[in-house]
Structure 1
Amino acid sequence: MTVEATPRLITIGETMMMFAPANAESLATAVDVRLHPGGAESNVACHVAHAGLSSAWVGVVGDDVFGHRISSAIEGHGVDTRWVTYDTTAPTGVYFKDPGKEVLYYRSTSAASRMSPATVASIPLEDADVVHLSGITPGLSESCAALVEAVFDRVAASSAILSFDVNFRPSLWPDRSVAGSVLRELANRAGFVFVGLDEAEALWGCRSADDIRSLLPKPERLVVKDGDVGATEFSVDLTVFVPAIPTEVLEAVGAGDAFAAGYLSGLLRGHVAKDRLRAGHERARLVLRSTSDFITELTE
């Protein structure tokens, strides 16, 4: 791949090795299991790269077979991985998808949980068009929360757009009230925000997209996703709704990342709100029809 001085999109966050049944069946009975990289931010970077736009993923993995496999796989999708680092003293996190039931995470002592402001100190975040983070990272550790603060501060002082996906993961937040406070504050400091209506209800008791906008009035653009109903973009002077594409769902994990990537790809291409939302739905549909977090095309 050709490496640009600074990719248009830079994403930062943990990527783990994901184990998932080859078919949409329970882990209790599955025999064939596939390994894929799985991480919200790197998923976004991969989808954006497949849309023909330059992207980079910044993360820390263990200096182990999983860490190197993750980095190689993500680079193979056309993503710039020059800022990925390898920790020789901590492992790469792993997780297991049990389709239709749950996701089992093993990440508490992962290399990525040691990320800190030093992780991005030498990275030219300010030169990107968009820097994308999620609410997963501040829940990983105190040093990861400090990393998020540093990125927010640096991007706020630049011309780059700070994109933030709330991505509430209950297992990372023992106290839901703390999660609600932290993620609301971060969302109101971001330029572009993605949030699911279901997670907004869990965090803040919101029952509608309008409720969320009232709670998050500051982002330049707020995108509220409502599952198979559709998505709404709020901006200063416009509200746009685009219905979801009817889809047979095999597994939903990763679809939100695909939606964000489709939307951000549209943004980077200068598309209007309706087309950005439609692009988000189209990318999400790919993942909804697979047990993988990332898929490049549909097989009808």
Structure 2
Amino acid sequence: MSGPAAGTASAATTTDAVCLGESMVTFLPSRPGRLADVPSFGRGIGGAESNVACALAAAGHRAAWVGRVGADGFGDHLVETIAGYGVDTSAVRRDPVRPTGIYFRTATDRGTDAHEVAYYRAGSAASAMSPDNVPYEDLFAGRILHLSGITAALSADCLALLRDLTAPRADRPLVSFDVNHRPHLWRGGTADASVLLELARRADLVFVGEDEAEEAWGIVGAGAIRAALPEPSVVVVKRGSAGATVFSGHRPGPRASNAGGAENSGGAESAVGEGGDTVTVVPALRVDVVAAVGAGDAFAAGFLSATLRGLPVRDRVRHGHLMAAAVLTVPGDLTDPPARDHADRLAALDDEAWGRLRLGPGWTAADRAPEEVRTP
């Protein structure tokens, strides 16, 4: 097994965040319509964890993506494109037998019945990731290790890898876990979505949507989600248009970490909850949505970016909302985030001004001042 013994994360000063997971080549339709009717597709990339790595790198952090792709042209495209965002891809492994995963999707919003996605990822190179063939020395070389539940659903070997990476280790990086429940991946698999709860409880920082917690675990409401996840130092409950609720506290867990611990939330939305938690509620922004894809990954990247910078909890959530708004106002899963000083100015607005913001296409332009993106 290639995993290190506890206490070997010695390169934490060289990388801010390492993201592990499958990235796939995405085929985007040339026009709206059923997949059966779309005449041609453009090529892009998609993958929750590589999306986070790309967004973090674009925001000025030292980010790495670790994955497994085929020894094929699609694998070349993925590695070259992700590296083009400034992400370190040196730990990506090539599989000489299994192909790189691909998928096709319609232009219709994911929230409608007309939306279609066709995945061709069964037996992909990434599904063969295991504790025996992933470079742990690279995974543990950053301040944060970011994982998601998608990887756990790909195969029994991938689930074993996630279980091993979330196991208690004295000197592991802060483990960030995005639940990312994808029901179609768990149908007929070797396990069910209940293992996502197990993995989340072993992480230090968890991102989970209220809707997916109900669908995967039958748990309703932010408080109930926190009660089901007592161990992580930080639990971020995403509540759609209602915003996000963050439970943060110094709790006994696999590892204490300054990067994920509670800090002064810096906002009037905070209160002390059960068990000594600081509970911070931050409203979402009003956004003129172009395409509702990639927003969850962008939110995680914005929150992690602010966490790496040691910002207060309220501002971490606001940076998550701003990064998500950048993606929501473009057609694809990835875009350049706003300049850091621009985002910082918006995140520092008082509650009333924050509530007046409405962001549309082009809002991330460097010459846009905060008042230029406010509604009257």
Q: How high is the TM-score relative to the length of structure 1?
A: 0.92
Tell me which structure has the larger Cα radius of gyration: 2
Query: Aligned-pair distance for 1:32?
Result: 5.2
CA distance in 2, matches of 1:13, 1:126: 15
- Please give the residue correspondences for 1:52-131 in structure 2 after superposition, counting only pairs within 5 Å: 52-98=60-106, 99-100=108-109, 101-131=115-145
CA distance in 2, matches of 1:177, 1:226: 30
Superposed CA RMSD: 2.1
**Aligned: 1:143 with 2:157:** yes
Query: Partner of 1:194 in structure 2?
Result: 207
CA distance in 2, matches of 1:79, 1:35: 20
Stretch moving more, 21-30 or 127-136? 21-30
| Number of positions where the alignment pairs a residue of Structure 1 with one of Structure 2 | 296
Asked if the contact 2:155/2:189 (under 8 Å) is kept, the reply is no
Query: Aligned-pair distance for 1:89?
Result: 0.7
- Choose from 279, 297, 315 the match for 1:275: 315
Letter in 2 for 1:146: A
Change (3 A) 1:85 1:176: closer
CA distance in 2, matches of 1:274, 1:176: 38
CA distance in 2, matches of 1:93, 1:50: 24
CA distance in 2, matches of 1:136, 1:217: 22
- Please give the residue correspondences for 1:1-300 in structure 2 after superposition, counting only pairs within 5 Å: 6-22=14-30, 26-31=34-39, 33-98=41-106, 99-100=108-109, 101-153=115-167, 156-174=169-187, 178-236=191-249, 237-297=277-337, 298-299=361-362
Change (3 A) 1:274 1:20: same
Q: Deviations over 1:19-65 (max 9, x none)?
A: 11256665454445321111010000000001100000000001111
Stretch moving more, 235-244 or 163-172? 235-244
Runs of 5+ unmatched residues, structure 1: none
CA distance in 1, matches of 2:200, 2:188: 18
Runs of 5+ unmatched residues, structure 2: 1-11, 110-114, 250-276, 338-360, 364-376
Asked if the contact 1:91/1:109 (under 8 Å) is kept, the reply is yes
CA distance in 1, matches of 2:157, 2:189: 20
Stretch moving more, 138-147 or 184-193? 138-147
Larger relative contact order (CA 8 Å, sep ≥ 6): 1
Change (3 A) 1:176 1:196: farther
Change (3 A) 1:109 1:248: same
CA distance in 1, matches of 2:17, 2:89: 12
Change (3 A) 1:90 1:248: same
Calculate percent identity across the aligned residue pairs. 47
Change (3 A) 1:70 1:242: same
Partner secondary structure for residue 37 of structure 1: strand
